[in-house]
Amino acid sequence: MRSRFEIVTDEFGRYVFQFLATDGAALLRGLPSRERFTVQVELMQARTALRVGHRFVKHTDDDGGWFAMLTQKNGDPLARTSTVPSEPSLDAVLEQLATTAAGAPLLKHQDA
């Protein structure tokens, strides 16, 4: 399978974009919206932000897992990475996103 972006419908009927790795794992997921057009615009903004590595802000959750938020120029969130167990694992996810996501194709709408 090839890495790719998809726009999907979540279990609440909202649209969301996600970036899937070659193994099908969702490495990045956008914010849900009732409007497909809003998600399409955010996807284009995310692709631009992915070309600028410093737009990721690292975080830890209460369980000790690591994730990063992809932000717009003004700092507003665009998408969130998957949660991983350590900072080195997160760095590997960010590297994979940097090398594959900016030019990855967009598949048609899929149901989640």
- pTM of the entire predicted model: 0.87
Write out pLDDT tens, residues 86-108: 999 999 999 999 888 877 888 76
CA distances from 68 to 23, 37, 45, 102 (A): 20, 24, 16, 17
**Type and span of the H or E element at 90:** helix 87-100
Domain that holds residue 95: 4-111
How many independent structural domains does the chain possess?
A: 1
pLDDT at 13 over 50: yes
With a pLDDT cut of 90, the percent of the chain lying above it is 68
Write out pLDDT tens, residues 35-84: 999 999 999 999 888 887 678 999 999 999 999 999 998 889 999 999 99
Beta carbons within 10 angstroms of residue 42's beta carbon: 21
Q: The domain spanning residue 25 has which CATH number?
A: 2.30.29.80
